[in-house]
Amino acid sequence: MKSVTIIGLGYVGLPLACLCAEKGHKVHGFDVDKGKVDSVNRNTSPIEDEYLANKLKYLNNKIHATTEPNECIPNSDVVIVCVPTPVDRNNSPDLTAVMNAASTVSKFIKHGTLLVIESTIYPGTIEEVVLPILQKQKIDARRNDVLVAHCPERIDPGNRKWTIDILPRVVGGVTKESSKAAAEFYRSILSAEVLELSSVKAAEATKIMENTFRDVNIAFVNEMAQSFDKAGIDILEVIKGASTKPFAFMPHYPGAGVGGHCIAQDPYYMIERGRQLGFNHEFLMLARKINNNMPHYTVELLENELKKIKKSVKGAKVGVLGLAYKGNVDDIRESPAFEVINILNTKGADVFIFDPHVKAGSNVKDLDELLNKSDYLVLVTDHREFKSVDLEKLKKHKILVVIDGRNCLDKEKIKSMGIAYHGIGRF
C-alpha cells in the first residue's frame, strides 16, 4: 500500500483518487476549492456523474480531501497532479494551475517521492516549466531527488464502457528510474497495458497527438458535411457506407461545434509550441477554424429554413436544447452552445435555453416550458433526455423548424409531422 496524493479533484483527479483507493492505496485529495473538498469528504460527487457518485458512496471516506498541502504531500509516496490546463483569451496555453501546483508540491514533497503530471501539457512543459520550479527548492529531478514523470489522462467522462481502470496508458519519465517507478505504480492500479516511452516529451506529445487527431478528423467531417449538404447527400449515409471498409477508415461525426476542456483546447497547446520552435501548424489551425465556425453554420441552417417560410431570426422564438459540450454530462467548458446562443441573441432572437444537466444555465424550468415558448428549435447537445423525447410533443407545441446540431433525432418522423428538419449534413 502506498500513500497517494491527488492534486485537483475534478473530472480527472476524482476518478483517479477513487481508483487508487479501491486498489488499496491510502488516498489524499488536495484541491484549492473548498466546496469540492467538503463534498468529497461527505462522500458526494461535486461532478454530476453516476459512476463517481456510486464509487464515493462505496468507498465511504477512504479518500481524505483537504485544502492543506502540508496535511498530505509530505507523507506521500506518490503525488499526481490533475489540475486544469486551459487557454487564455488569445488561445495561448495557460499553465498557471500547473505552475502553482508544482510550486506547492516543491515546498512539501519529500525526497524519493514519485511525482506524476497527468494534466495535458505541450511537449517540453515538464522539462522547461516544472523542473525549474522544483529546482528553486533545490530538488534536482534529473538526479532523481524526486522521480518526475508524465502519464497523460485519457478518461472520457460519461463513457460507461471505457472506464479509467481499463484504459491503457503511456508514461514517460525525466529519468529511466522515474519512468520505471511511474509505470510500476500505474500497473498497480490498472487492468490495462502501461507503455513506457523513452522520454517525458514523448509522453506529453502523445496526448496532444490523440486530441489533435480528433479535432482534425472532426473538422474534416464537418467540412464534408457542409459540402455534401449542397450536393444533396446525407453525410450519415456516406459515413455508414465508408465504415464498411474494414481498414483505414475511422468514422467521425459532424456537429454544431467542438467543446470541452480537451479537444477544443489541446491543439492550441501544440500550435503555440510549434510557434515557439519556429514551426507553423497550418493543418491544426485550419481544423480549429472549421470547428469554431460550426455554431455559425448551425445558426445559418436555421436562417435558411426561416427564409423558406419568409421569417427571420430577428424576433424569432428559438429554443436551444443543451448547454453541455457533449451528451449526458454537466460539463459546459468551451461548449459551442454558448456561441450558438450568442449569435442568436446578436441577431435579435428571443432565446429559451434548457439543459437537464445544467439547470443553473437554463432560463426555463423544463423541456415542456421550452417547447411551449419556442417556435423553432436548435439542438446542440445529444443528451439522452432529448434523443428520447416524444416527438409528438413538437407538433402539439406547434414547433415549425428543428435544427438538429447532433444529427440525433428521427428526421423522418419530424418531417412526417410537417415540421422542417435540417441537421449537419443531413436533411
Ligand X SMILES: NC(=O)c1ccc[n+]([C@@H]2O[C@H](COP(=O)([O-])OP(=O)(O)OC[C@H]3O[C@@H](n4cnc5c(N)ncnc54)[C@H](O)[C@@H]3O)[C@@H](O)[C@H]2O)c1
Q: Which is nearer to ligand X, 40 or 321 (CB)?
A: 40
Interface with ligand X by CB under 6 A: which range of 49-57, 95-103, 228-236, 304-312? 95-103
Q: Which residues contact 241 (CB under 8 A, 6 or more apart)?
A: none
Q: Which is nearer to ligand X, 260 or 319 (CB)?
A: 260
Exposure string of 106-126, with b = 16+ CB inside 10 Å and e = fewer, is bebbeeebbbbbbbbbbbebb
CA distances from 313 to 298, 336, 346 (A): 13, 19, 10
Whole-number Å distance between alpha carbons of 170 and 153: 9
Specify which residues 401 forms β-bridges with: 376, 420
Cα–Cα nearest to 254, from 80, 83, 405, 72 = 405
| 325: contact with ligand X by CB under 6 A | no
Q: Which is nearer to ligand X, 10 or 425 (CB)?
A: 10
Assess contact for 206 and 197: CB atoms under 8 A: yes
| 115: contact with ligand X by CB under 6 A | no
| 101: contact with ligand X by CB under 6 A | yes
Phi and psi at 422, nearest 5°, equal -150, 125
Task: Say what angle helices 200-231 and 294-308 make with each other, to 10 degrees.
Answer: 10
| 120: contact with ligand X by CB under 6 A | yes
Whole-number Å distance between alpha carbons of 223 and 213: 15
Whole-number Å distance between alpha carbons of 55 and 59: 6
Assess contact for 295 and 339: CB atoms under 8 A: yes
Annotation says 20 is catalytic: no
Q: What is the smallest separation between the CB atom of 413 and ligand X, expressed in angstroms?
A: 33
Q: Which residue lies nearest ligand X, judged by its C-beta?
A: 10
| 83: contact with ligand X by CB under 6 A | yes
* Interface with ligand X: number of residues (CB under 6 A): 26
Interface with ligand X by CB under 6 A: which range of 9-17, 142-150, 350-358, 419-427? 9-17
| 11: contact with ligand X by CB under 6 A | yes
Q: What is the smallest separation between the CB atom of 69 and ligand X, expressed in angstroms?
A: 8
Q: Which is nearer to ligand X, 205 or 420 (CB)?
A: 205
| 119: contact with ligand X by CB under 6 A | yes
CA distances from 157 to 160, 225, 412, 423 (A): 8, 27, 31, 25
Q: Which is nearer to ligand X, 26 or 150 (CB)?
A: 150
Q: What is the smallest separation between the CB atom of 15 and ligand X, expressed in angstroms?
A: 9
Q: What is the smallest separation between the CB atom of 9 and ligand X, expressed in angstroms?
A: 5
Which of the residues 18, 82, 262, 408 is marked catalytic?
A: 262
Whole-number Å distance between alpha carbons of 417 and 427: 15
Cα–Cα nearest to 218, from 286, 166, 279 = 286
Among 4, 5, 6, 8, binds ligand X (CB under 6 A): 8
| 77: contact with ligand X by CB under 6 A | no
| 206: contact with ligand X by CB under 6 A | no
Q: Which is nearer to ligand X, 47 or 301 (CB)?
A: 47
Whole-number Å distance between alpha carbons of 197 and 263: 23
CA distances from 78 to 19, 109, 163, 301 (A): 14, 9, 22, 52
Whole-number Å distance between alpha carbons of 407 and 237: 12
Q: What is the smallest separation between the CB atom of 100 and ligand X, expressed in angstroms?
A: 4
Phi and psi at 419, nearest 5°, equal -100, 135
| 122: contact with ligand X by CB under 6 A | no
Q: Which is nearer to ligand X, 69 or 425 (CB)?
A: 69
| 5: contact with ligand X by CB under 6 A | no
Q: Which is nearer to ligand X, 96 or 312 (CB)?
A: 96
Residue 292 sits at the vertex; the CA angle it makes with 288 and 297, to the nearest 5 degrees, is: 135
| 94: contact with ligand X by CB under 6 A | no
Whole-number Å distance between alpha carbons of 263 and 217: 11
**x-or-dash string of contact with ligand X, 128-167, rule CB under 6 A:** -------------------------x-x-x----------
**x-or-dash string of contact with ligand X, 12-41, rule CB under 6 A:** xx----------------xxxx--x-----
Return the residues of window 332-391 that contact ligand X according to CB under 6 A: none
| 262: contact with ligand X by CB under 6 A | yes
> Which positions touch ligand X (CB under 6 A)?
7-13, 30-33, 36, 82-85, 97, 100-101, 119-120, 153, 155, 157, 261-262
Q: Which active-site residues does the annotation give?
A: 262
